Each structure stands twice: as structure tokens, then as C-alpha cells.
Amino acid sequence: MTDFSEIYTPTEEHEAFRAAVREVCDAKVAPNAAEVDETATFPQAAYDALRASDFHAPHVPESYGGVGADALATAIVIEEVARACASSSLIPAVNKLGTMPILLSGSDELKQAYLPPVASGAAMFSYCLSEPEAGSDAASMKTRAVADGDHYVLNGVKRWITNAGVSEFYTVFAVTAPDARSRGISAFVIEKNDHGVSFGAPEKKLGIKGSPTCEVYLDQVRVPASRLIGEPGTGFATAMRTLDHTRVTIAAQAIGIAQGALDFAAGYVKERSQFGKAIADFQGIQFMIADMGMKLEAARQLTYAAAAKSQREDADLTYFGAAAKCFASDVAMEITTDAVQLLGGYGYTKDYPVERMMRDAKITQIYEGTNQVQRIVMARQLLKS
């Protein structure tokens, strides 16, 4: 018989967590979402509200001053913030992404130095893996870190770095043994104020405009060897382990965006009248709403199952993390597109939020590994087993 202790079960505490996050988001995050998108500015008001409520980095363990939320609770936070504003949801999501390598592989010294400022909201953390010529093929990175006594000197360019320039701290992956391919990559903590660190202009993006995305330039950046995360040459393995966990957060972001779109569309079709009755009374509209709700709930259940596996660090997390991210983001793109369709011409205008949600949803199919890469990951896991 099935051992039900191995199946995720959202508890009353999880639902109370959700209610608390939603209250904050409805009051302080959602009202600013359209302006954040229109002006492409960092959602400072949302950050302040999340920080005041300890939702900005809920995953940080209590031993480092954090809330100590489990993986499912953290996913719920990201889901609820994304329902209100996708850009703002990248605050808790990227704080987890940036700090996960330290949690997985970092020394006690690194954890004590860098986790408490994130937990308190004094600093944010970003993740620097991608480069101009190393996207899906991350092992082809060119950034170098050369040992120099008890220091390393880093040179290179990182691209597509979320919250770059706003975050104080950065997990940076660099080649320390050029002939060893992925086994020659190491991970470091870099600080915004380190000499030689600078940032490019923010990218002009389709969506998530309130979350700055910039290049990070490393020009003779000299850091102590104590900032190495794990042993030399283990950085790539740490990066992949990190993504196994954080793809769950992108799945949560995707279902949050989709939920926001479905909520708005469902309310609209009950109020919009054509041919003498609410368009919600037409069977064609009902079928669309039914499919949106069905697929969203399937994505949510898969995401929560993956979150439980992340918490337990199950052996099949790689598969479930990829599956949740891929399925939830595909569903989010479909649901937000259908939401625009349900609003007709109004859906195509900025007077209503669903066009923003559709634009925001697209990136969830691309970052933290494109959905084509996720399918490769899943196939390899299935064939290996």
C-alpha cells in the first residue's frame, strides 16, 4: 500500500501562510503592479511590504535569522505574490536562487556572513550563471577565476542576471580549471561593492519589467578564497542541484500568474453582457473557463508535489522539478492567452491586467532552463531509470 507520509500535504499552517501573504499582496503589491510594469522600475513598495511581513526571503533557516519556511510554504509565498505582480515575486524567488548554493554547499562561515542580511531584508542575493555564449550550455562559460595566494581574481561577463544592481550579493560561477569542462567550474560570493564589479543597462523586456535584468561585469575582481562556495571544481554540480530546487519556485510563479489571470477573467465574463445575457452563460465561454481551471489545478498539484520532494531532497527531484517548471509555465502561457481572449478587445489593452500577465508568463517558459531543456532533462531521467 502507498505510504502516504511520502506524499505532500498542505497543512492548516500552509493555508494560514497563504492567507497572510494574500492579504499583504492585495493591500500593498497589487495596487502598484501596473505602474511598476509601465515605468519598468523596481517594485520598492512591494519589497518594503514583503520585508515588513518576512515574506521577502521566507526560505532562510531560523538559525540564520529567517522564517525557516519549508519548500512548499516558500512556493506558496511566490505563487501569491505572482498572482498580484510577477515582477515582485522575483524578490523571494531570486533570494532563494541566489542563496541556495550557500545553503547546499557553503561553509558555516559563508552562511553566517551572508544569510542573516538576506533574512533581515538588509540585502538581496542574485545568481550569476548565464553568459553571452553560455545559456543552455552553461558549462561553456568563459568567466575565469584565477588563484592568487589566498585570493581569487575574477574576470568575465554574466548576462540575464535578475535584480542585478539592486542585489548586494551575487553567487558567481567561474572557470578555475579550463581543461576540466564542467568539473573545472567553481562558485563564489561576490559583493556589489567589490572593486571591479559593474553593471550594464537594464534590458528592455517584454514582461517582468519591474525586475531589473542586467549584465554583470567582473574586471579584476579580487576576493578572498573564503568566499569560495564548496570545494574548487564543484560549482557546476552545485548550480545544477540549485536549479533542481528552484525550478519549483518558477513553477510556483507561473501558477500564480495564471491564477491572477483566471480570477480576473472569471469575474469579467460574469459581468460582461452580450446578446442580452452575461457571456459566462454561453457554453463556449464555460468550456474555456473549465479548461483553464482544470489545467491550473493540475499544474498546482504537480508543483506542490515537486516542492515536497525538494523539501525531502528526494532522488527524483531532478525529474519533478523539471516537470513542474515545464508544465506550469506552459499552462500559464495558455491560461493568460485565453484570459486575453475572454476579454476580447479590452484584453488587448493596458486598461486591464491580463495583457501584462500574458507578457509576464512568457519568461517562465524560458528562464531557469528553457522548456526544451526541461524536456531533455525529463527524458534523460526517464531513460536512465
272 Cβ contact partners less than 8 Å away, ≥ 6 residues apart? 278, 279
Mind giving me the DSSP string for 126-178? Answer: EEE--BTTBSS-GGG---EEEEETTEEEEEEEEEEEETTTT-SEEEEEEESSG
How many alpha carbons fall within 13 Å on the CB side of residue 112?
4
Please give the Cα distance from 32 to 28 (Å, whole number): 7
Contact 166, 202 (CB under 8 A): no
Sign of CA dihedral 363, 367, 370, 371: negative
Contact 115, 124 (CB under 8 A): no
* Backbone torsions φ then ψ of 255, nearest 5 degrees: -70, -30
> How many other CB atoms are there within 10 angstroms of residue 204's CB atom?
8
Helix axes 86-105, 354-363, angle to 10 degrees: 20
Q: Which residue reads 459581468 in cell numbers?
A: 271
Q: Which of 79, 215, 355, 368 is catalytic?
A: 368
Please give the Cα distance from 37 to 225 (Å, whole number): 40
Please give the Cα distance from 247 to 374 (Å, whole number): 10
CA dist 275 to 53, 279, 281, Å?
A: 47, 8, 11
Which of 121, 49, 39 is closest to 81 using CA atoms?
49
368 is catalytic: yes
Start-end of H helices in the chain: 12-24, 30-39, 44-52, 71-84, 86-105, 108-120, 235-271, 283-312, 317-342, 354-363, 371-384
The one-character DSSP state at 329 is H
List the catalytic residues.
368
